[in-house]
Chain A
Amino acid sequence: MDNSAVFWSRALTELTLTFHIIFATLGVGVPLIILIAQYVGYKKNDEHYTLLARRVARGFTITVAVGVVTGTIIGLQLSLLWPQFMELAGQTIALPLFMETFAFFFEAIFLGIYLYTWDRFKNPKYHMLLLIPVAIGAFMSAIFITIVNAFMNAPRGFDLIGGEIVNIQPILAMFTPAMPTKVGHVLTSSFMTVAFTLAAIAAYKLLKGEDHIYHKKSLNLMMKLGLIFSIATAVVGDFSAKYLAEYQPEKLAAAEWHFETEAGADLIFFGILDGDEVKYEIRMPKVLSFLISNNFNAEVTGLNDFPEDERPPLITHYYFNIMVAIGSLMIFLAMGYVVGKWRGWQWITSRWFRWLIVLGGPLSFIAIETGWWLAEQGRQPWILYGIMRTEQGATTATGVEWLFIAFAVVYLILGIGSVVVLRRMFKNNPVSKELALRKGGEQ
């Protein structure tokens, strides 16, 4: 087996997915947020919210384009870089993959219609309703593709007899134990990230002196939505940890740096590893036991109980901590804003607080990335948990390292291009100008 091909296949897959999920997260979350904004605008007869929906939709055209091309890339790279895995997956998990393309099709059709029919219907309600199939298509494709990933973590729906896969049940393969928490966490964290990203934009505009009521309304709506979705994300995240303790204990043990099996296990936050010893950590006594079983004295399996060649990398600890830390920070931030707004506290309009909100946008994306790295690297050395090791699935072709470089250049161009185009799009067309233009047109 050619180890460099395995290494570079993993590297290229990670590179593509890391880049793609930025746009995929936006792709899942933005349609719902546009729908909510447009609905609020319609209900309150407030054109600020309608304009918010319109501007977000305009920016969405760019991120969707990059999401579509990178999604196509990862879709084919699965077969190119992991041919033996896909051969097996084709027999067991092709159904959700296939259904994902239908969801994607459905979304693409209605998004195209939505984008090109603004003000075309006499009753604006019809145009708004077009967003429902767009949002459904976006959710469904996220759900189906996450089902495939859940299968890789908890393969079900077939029997393994003498190395042969038999008695395949496609429906059972979709509903694995990993599926509910994975799907839930992906959806809620996407909504949360998009809400905080839009809040960050509004806060930034206010900081830059564009003291327009539009930005205040946008900030307000997004922070409220952010609070709801961040709490939902944390709740589902808690279920995910409980799932791991039961079905993939070595992933949890690696992420928690929990080496010895013991009752009343401590939760370790950050720290560094010196040999087998953890230093400079924040230690919360017995919290890990409580976290996974609601019992402070429950026994937690340690990493040393697993064979050495089945242990995930220990770096996942940092991914886990970063994700959780950011998630918690965002809940506090959103709660502070919402409560402050309600009680009339002045500090929520202060510059430092608005800068924190601005920071919350990129932080949410860091949490998404680290969360996925935790989920994926935490499943090593398996590509198909307990069934197929990663090196068994990788391509036997040579030259993957050159493709890695080529794709890295492409993503760099796409990344810079999106930022430049999005900035240009909104910089030359501020809210006040667009509002004045629309009012002028109506009179």
Chain B
Amino acid sequence: MSLEIVGIFVLWIFLFGYVIVASIDFGAGFFNAYSLLTGKNNILSKIIKRYLSPVWEITNVFLVFFFVGIVGFFPQTAYYYGTILLVPVSIALILLAIRGSYYAFESYSGLRGHKGYATAYGIAGLLIPASLSVVLAISEGGFVTMHENGPKLDYSALFTSTLAWSIVVLSLTAVLYISAVFLNWYANKAGDLKASDLMRKYALIWAIPLIVSAMGIILEMRNTNSWHYQNILDLTWLFIVSGILFIITIWLIWRKKSYGLSVVVMILQFATAFFAYGISHYPYLLYPYLTIHDSFTNESMAIALVLAFIAGLFLLIPSMYLVFKLFIFHKGYISGEDETHV
């Protein structure tokens, strides 16, 4: 395996990690706001707070890891994506700032339960994946033109693109679905059957638009018959595997048993689709200007980065295990019996 492939593989894993943990986070914010507005907050808020509080910072690091890593392994992405994404990413950053700080301000100051804040927080959480997912549409090509000064993003083409909007819809529904499946299990584990019932309902509801929008994107790509669609055809079987895993998740949730397994299968489903998408994108980072080969960093830096990455994993994996052991899998903690915050 060449170093380019190792590099993009590492980054893709971390991006996937971000997609899952951030989805749980963003979706939870939305459900929390929704439950406050509909008066069901006593059911959900506690469970959401219990899960989110110790891990929200870790969620953020996944994102930082990805964007620092991509500049390291593929420095030219800084030039192309840095220039064209100035506005969309700045908007996402402002939303992230509002969201991250509101979370802390609310949690630690006794302002918890304010409807206005919770709504702003929930909506900001949904807009972040929307503003970040346009990058996926841009990477398909056709929205960027080269000028003598540098690359330029064609905003009107992007805003009128049905593909771009379909990707936004898919990302939103995926966020809510992933979050609901996870919180369903988490609430069940905490013995909070009311919250679990509610999340089960949400999971089943959001599964429908999720699969519709995913199908829609494939159909749109078929109509334009782009380079990317040709690649996807070769990987049809992986997308079918993902579809089967999706059906298994729904079935597990439907019969109200093995919620833990449903989370695992759901993650596998998204992993399969995410990696199939990634592989079918090969070799382009930004069609047609940037491939992973011509934008790759020099060899000595690549080797140094891979070594640093391996050393870092030795630090991270045991620490993550500790977090899981102390919070997510700790009966006393999730049921709320131990109140041990500073």
Please say whether chains A and B are actual partners in one complex: yes
User: Using a CB–CB distance below 8 Å, which chain A residues touch chain B?
Assistant: 2, 54, 57-58, 61-62, 64-66, 68-73, 75-77, 79-84, 86-92, 94-95, 97-102, 104-106, 108-120, 133, 168-171, 395-397, 399-400, 403, 406-407, 410, 413-414, 417-418, 421, 424-425, 428
Partner of A2, one of B78, B149, B298, B311: B149
Query: Which of A75, A97, A102, A115 has most chain B Cβ within 10 Å?
Result: A102
Residue of A whose beta carbon sits closest to that of B98: A410
> For the complex, is B100 an interface residue (Cβ under 8 Å from A)?
yes
Report the bound CA distance from A111 to B58 in whole Å.
Answer: 10
List the one stretch of B220-228, B237-245, B312-320 in contact with chain A. B312-320
B239 to chain A minimum Cβ distance, whole angstroms, is 31
Report, nearest first, the 3 A-B pairs whose CB atoms are least far apart: A90-B75, A94-B72, A65-B104
10 A-B Cβ contacts within 8 A? Answer: A81-B82, A83-B80, A89-B78, A95-B308, A102-B315, A112-B323, A116-B326, A399-B86, A410-B94, A421-B104
B68 and A115: CB pair below 8 A?
no
- Chain B residues within an 8 Å CB radius of A95: 72, 301, 304-305, 308
> For the complex, is B57 an interface residue (Cβ under 8 Å from A)?
yes
- Chain B residues within an 8 Å CB radius of A86: 71, 75, 78-79, 82
B341 to chain A minimum Cβ distance, whole angstroms, is 6
> For the complex, is B162 an interface residue (Cβ under 8 Å from A)?
no
B88 to chain A minimum Cβ distance, whole angstroms, is 10
Partner of B71, one of A71, A94, A407, A428: A94
- Chain A residues within an 8 Å CB radius of B53: 112, 116
- Chain A residues within an 8 Å CB radius of B149: 2, 396
Given A76-B89, A106-B319, the answer on whether A112 and B55 have CB atoms closer than 8 Å is yes
B330 to chain A minimum Cβ distance, whole angstroms, is 9
- Chain B residues within an 8 Å CB radius of A413: 98
B105 and A62: CB pair below 8 A?
yes
Residue of A whose beta carbon sits closest to that of B64: A101
Partner of B108, one of A61, A118, A119, A168: A61
Given A73-B93, A104-B64, A116-B341, the answer on whether A109 and B323 have CB atoms closer than 8 Å is yes
> For the complex, is B97 an interface residue (Cβ under 8 Å from A)?
yes
- Chain B residues within an 8 Å CB radius of A82: 82
Report the bound CA distance from A132 to B85 in whole Å.
Answer: 39
Beyond the given A62-B109, A105-B61, A120-B338, could you list 14 further A-B residue pairs with CB under 8 A, ordered by the A residue number?
A62-B104, A69-B96, A71-B64, A73-B96, A79-B78, A87-B79, A98-B305, A106-B316, A113-B54, A113-B323, A119-B340, A120-B340, A403-B90, A407-B94
A313 to chain B minimum Cβ distance, whole angstroms, is 26
- Chain B residues within an 8 Å CB radius of A71: 64
Given A94-B301, A397-B83, the answer on whether A57 and B342 have CB atoms closer than 8 Å is yes
Report the bound CA distance from A108 to B54 in whole Å.
Answer: 9
Report the bound CA distance from A256 to B316 in whole Å.
Answer: 46
> For the complex, is B81 an interface residue (Cβ under 8 Å from A)?
yes
- Chain A residues within an 8 Å CB radius of B2: none
Report the bound CA distance from A106 to B297 in whole Å.
Answer: 26
Partner of B301, one of A68, A91, A120, A397: A91
- Chain B residues within an 8 Å CB radius of A70: 97
> For the complex, is B69 an interface residue (Cβ under 8 Å from A)?
yes
- Chain A residues within an 8 Å CB radius of B298: 91, 168
B76 and A87: CB pair below 8 A?
yes
- Chain B residues within an 8 Å CB radius of A72: 60, 63-64, 93, 96-97, 100
Interface bits B125-169 vs A (CB < 8 Å: 1, else 0): 000000000000000000000000110100000000000000000
- Chain A residues within an 8 Å CB radius of B58: 105, 108-109, 112
Residue of A whose beta carbon sits closest to that of B78: A86
B99 to chain A minimum Cβ distance, whole angstroms, is 8
- Chain A residues within an 8 Å CB radius of B97: 69-70, 72-73, 410, 414
- Chain B residues within an 8 Å CB radius of A97: 68, 71-72
Residue of B whose beta carbon sits closest to that of A402: B87
- Chain B residues within an 8 Å CB radius of A117: 326, 340
Report the bound CA distance from A81 to B90 in whole Å.
Answer: 10
A80 and B85: CB pair below 8 A?
yes
Partner of B319, one of A100, A110, A169: A110
B93 and A99: CB pair below 8 A?
no
- Chain B residues within an 8 Å CB radius of A109: 58, 316, 319-320, 322-323
Report the bound CA distance from A88 to B74 in whole Å.
Answer: 11
A386 to chain B minimum Cβ distance, whole angstroms, is 20
A61 and B54: CB pair below 8 A?
no
Residue of B whose beta carbon sits closest to that of A421: B109
B3 to chain A minimum Cβ distance, whole angstroms, is 13
> For the complex, is B207 an interface residue (Cβ under 8 Å from A)?
no
Report the bound CA distance from A20 to B101 in whole Å.
Answer: 13
Report the bound CA distance from A395 to B311 in whole Å.
Answer: 34
- Chain B residues within an 8 Å CB radius of A133: 319
B50 to chain A minimum Cβ distance, whole angstroms, is 10
A118 and B342: CB pair below 8 A?
yes
Given A95-B304, A109-B323, the answer on whether A395 and B83 have CB atoms closer than 8 Å is yes
Report the bound CA distance from A92 to B300 in whole Å.
Answer: 10
Report the bound CA distance from A414 to B93 in whole Å.
Answer: 13
Residue of B whose beta carbon sits closest to that of A65: B104
Given A112-B323, A113-B322, A396-B83, the answer on whether A94 and B297 have CB atoms closer than 8 Å is yes
Partner of B109, one of A54, A114, A424: A424
B301 and A170: CB pair below 8 A?
yes
B23 to chain A minimum Cβ distance, whole angstroms, is 18
Residue of B whose beta carbon sits closest to that of A399: B87
B247 to chain A minimum Cβ distance, whole angstroms, is 35
- Chain A residues within an 8 Å CB radius of B89: 76, 80
A441 to chain B minimum Cβ distance, whole angstroms, is 12
B46 to chain A minimum Cβ distance, whole angstroms, is 15
- Chain A residues within an 8 Å CB radius of B69: 98, 101
A171 to chain B minimum Cβ distance, whole angstroms, is 7
> For the complex, is B65 an interface residue (Cβ under 8 Å from A)?
yes
A102 and B316: CB pair below 8 A?
yes
A101 and B65: CB pair below 8 A?
yes
Residue of B whose beta carbon sits closest to that of A88: B75
Report the bound CA distance from A415 to B242 in whole Å.
Answer: 45
A94 and B75: CB pair below 8 A?
yes
Partner of A101, one of B68, B79, B322, B338: B68
A115 and B301: CB pair below 8 A?
no
> For the complex, is B103 an interface residue (Cβ under 8 Å from A)?
yes
B90 and A69: CB pair below 8 A?
no
- Chain B residues within an 8 Å CB radius of A120: 338, 340
Report the bound CA distance from A57 to B64 in whole Å.
Answer: 24
- Chain B residues within an 8 Å CB radius of A407: 90, 94
Given A84-B79, A90-B72, the answer on whether A65 and B101 have CB atoms closer than 8 Å is yes
B60 and A80: CB pair below 8 A?
no
> For the complex, is B39 an interface residue (Cβ under 8 Å from A)?
no
Query: Which of B83, B316, B333 has most chain A Cβ within 10 Å?
Result: B83
Interface bits B13-54 vs A (CB < 8 Å: 1, else 0): 000000000000000000000000000000000000000011
A98 and B327: CB pair below 8 A?
no
A139 to chain B minimum Cβ distance, whole angstroms, is 15
